[in-house]
Every structure is written in C-alpha cells, then in structure tokens.
Amino acid sequence: MSEQTPVLVRNVSKTFKDVKALDDVNLQLDSHKIYGLLGRNGAGKTTLMSILTGQGFPDAGEVKVFGHTPFEHDGTLSRICFIRESQKYPDEYKAFQAFKAAALFFENWDEQLAQELIADFNLPLKRKIKKLSRGQLSAVGVVIGLASRAEVTFFDEPYLGLDAVARQIFYDRLVEDFALYPRTIVLSSHLIDEVANLLEHVIIIDSGRIVMDEDAESLQGAAVTISGKAEVVDEFVADYPVIHRDSLGALASVSIQQRLTPAQQTEAKELGLDLSPLSLQQLVVRTAMGRNVLASHQDQAKERTSWNA
C-alpha cells in the first residue's frame, strides 16, 4: 500500500458561487519530498488542500490518496494531516488538550518531538487556545503537523504571526525531522524566498490553475531578466515566452521563462544586454502577475489601434 502514489489529482475543478477556485487541476505528489504550494491569497491553495484531505469536495475530477478517494475514508484519512491556517479549536480547549487529541488520532504521533517543539516555541500549555496570540496559534498547528508524522502532511501558511526566530525554528525542525522520517510534505506559502531552499518541488497556482509544476533544481535559471536598449531587448526576446516587461525611456527589462543556452548567453552579452536569473519569489510574482499584465498590455495596444483608426 505504501508503494502507491501518495497523491494523484485528475481534472479537479471547483467553483464557489461565481468564483472558479480550481480550474482543471492535475497533479501528482510523490513520497519523501517537500513540496511548495505557492500562490497569491485566494489563488486556490487552501481549497486544493481541503479537497486533497477529504475536507472539501470537487465539482468535477477525482483525487486519490494512496489509491483511495480520501473523502470519508478513515483508513486513508488517518495517514494525512492538514491543519488549516484558520484552524478552529473547541472553545474551552487548552493547548495541551489539543495535543492530547492529536496523540489519539495520529498513529505516528511522537510525544517527545511534540514536547521539544512546545519548549522551542515557548507555548503556554495551560492557556486556553482562544486566548493565544496569532503566532502561538500558528505554533499549535505547527506542533501538531510536525509531531503527527503523517505520511502526507500539509502546512497551510504555517508561519502566520510567527516571529523570525520561531519561523527559523520551524524550518530547521522540519528539515531535521524530514531527514529522519521522510514523508510527503506540502508547504503552502506566500513567503516564498524564505522557504525556497527547503523546497524540492515547486507548484505554483494562480486563479485556480496550476501554472508551474517543476523540480526546484530545474527552476534555477529557468527564467531570466534581460535588460538593455529597448529595441535590442525586444528583438532578442521575440521568440520567448515573456512573463514581465518594464521599460524606462529607451531602456527595457524583460523577463522570459526560458533557459538560455551558453551560446544564447554569449550572444546576449555581445548585444550589450544584461542577464540576471529570477529568484523563486520573483518567478512566482512574475508568473502570477505576468498573465494579467500581458493581458492588460494587449488591451491597451488594442485600444491604441482603435484610437488611431
């Protein structure tokens, strides 16, 4: 059973009233990998994770977790952990009671790890959860997510309200524990640069569509920004997929989603163009924004032609 693909998503769509939250999503998550699910607020990250964990349901398409539809399937659900960014806890619960419940349900629960994390985060165990600060609330979710050691673990914006030190503790502990107990971990985030070097695989979602699904390694240098004289730049990038364009007077700076061969790099330099690789964060921002920006450029262009005519 553990041989099966942890997560398989086929043609999943989901609409809330008039908003298309997920639009024909196809994905595969493998075992023993840390995934980054990146995108803007409202891009569909939480909706996707809800459906993957049987908490929500798709309008169309299917999801298989270890070969089963997770919805209402206790055997499959017991191998998954998903704490929401806005997770609700019973009103009277104190932090230690939430951990007690988690220890009941998650078979691989590691109490010692939980205790270490609680100490790391300075979590007040006897305080009611509804009285905790936003950061402490996030820490409760992080402790449950890590100590559950579930075969597929989702962290939904786990760092909200955590200070820089606490965030670093989370990243360190995650990597440390992952090395000892490899599993499928999905980190949903919009603080991309911070998590960039944890990720082995990057999935970018925008307006409900998967716009990128690639190994982190292959993303290094997958997009470049070319700057120089506008007409030279435009001529150079003519055949490549442009994700962003800035211009200032006669100068332009254009980002393309294209890996340049050494020959192409030399050619660019000979033309007097500057090349700089996009960071993961810039890539996400450009990929997510690029489509809108390009669309509006085209609209403007159309408008101009109609004005002239």
105 part of the interface to other proteins, by CB under 8 A = yes
Q: Give the distance from CA 5 to its chain's centroid.
A: 20
State which of residues 38, 144, 162, 219 lies at the interface with other proteins (CB under 8 A).
144
Task: Output phi, psi for 176, to 5 deg.
Answer: -60, -50
81 part of the interface to other proteins, by CB under 8 A = yes
Report which DSSP code applies to 259.
Answer: P
Contact (CB, 8 A) for 145 and 188:
no
Sort residue 261 into left (φ over 0), alpha (ψ -120 to 50) or beta: beta
Nearer to other proteins, 145 or 290 (CB): 145
CA dist 264 → 236, 270, 275 (Å): 10, 10, 11
Nearer to other proteins, 44 or 228 (CB): 44
* # residues contacting other proteins (CB under 8 A): 36
182 part of the interface to other proteins, by CB under 8 A = no
15 part of the interface to other proteins, by CB under 8 A = no
Site for other proteins in 215-274 (CB under 8 A): none
Closest approach, Cβ 189 to other proteins, in A, equals 18
State which of residues 5, 13, 15, 78 lies at the interface with other proteins (CB under 8 A).
78
CA quadruple 16, 30, 141, 157: dihedral sign: negative
Nearer to other proteins, 101 or 216 (CB): 101
SS3 call for 296 = helix
State which of residues 1, 17, 18, 88 lies at the interface with other proteins (CB under 8 A).
88
Closest approach, Cβ 66 to other proteins, in A, equals 13
**Stretch of 75-83, 118-126, 170-178, 255-263 lying at the interface with other proteins (CB under 8 A):** 75-83
135 part of the interface to other proteins, by CB under 8 A = no
Residue 218 exposed, middle or buried by CB count within 10 Å (0-12, 13-18, 19+): exposed
Q: How far apart are CA 243 and CA 4, in angstroms?
A: 37
Nearer to other proteins, 94 or 190 (CB): 94
Closest approach, Cβ 161 to other proteins, in A, equals 18
Closest approach, Cβ 63 to other proteins, in A, equals 15
Nearer to other proteins, 184 or 257 (CB): 184
162 part of the interface to other proteins, by CB under 8 A = no
Closest approach, Cβ 264 to other proteins, in A, equals 47
Q: How far apart are CA 284 and CA 40, in angstroms?
A: 9
Q: At what angle do helices 134-148 and 164-180 cross, to 10 degrees?
A: 0
Q: How far apart are CA 203 and CA 37, in angstroms?
A: 5
CA quadruple 174, 180, 181, 184: dihedral sign: positive
- Kind plus residue range of the DSSP H or E element containing 217: helix 216-219
Closest approach, Cβ 90 to other proteins, in A, equals 4
Q: Give the distance from CA 190 to its chain's centroid.
A: 7
Site for other proteins in 34-73 (CB under 8 A): 46, 50, 53-57, 72-73
Token pair for residue 198? 């944890």
State which of residues 10, 33, 40, 84 lies at the interface with other proteins (CB under 8 A).
84
Unique residue bearing structure tokens 């996707």 = 48
Judged by the rule CB under 8 A, the positions of this chain that interact with other proteins are 46, 50, 53-57, 72-74, 77-84, 86-93, 97-98, 100-102, 104-106, 144, 150
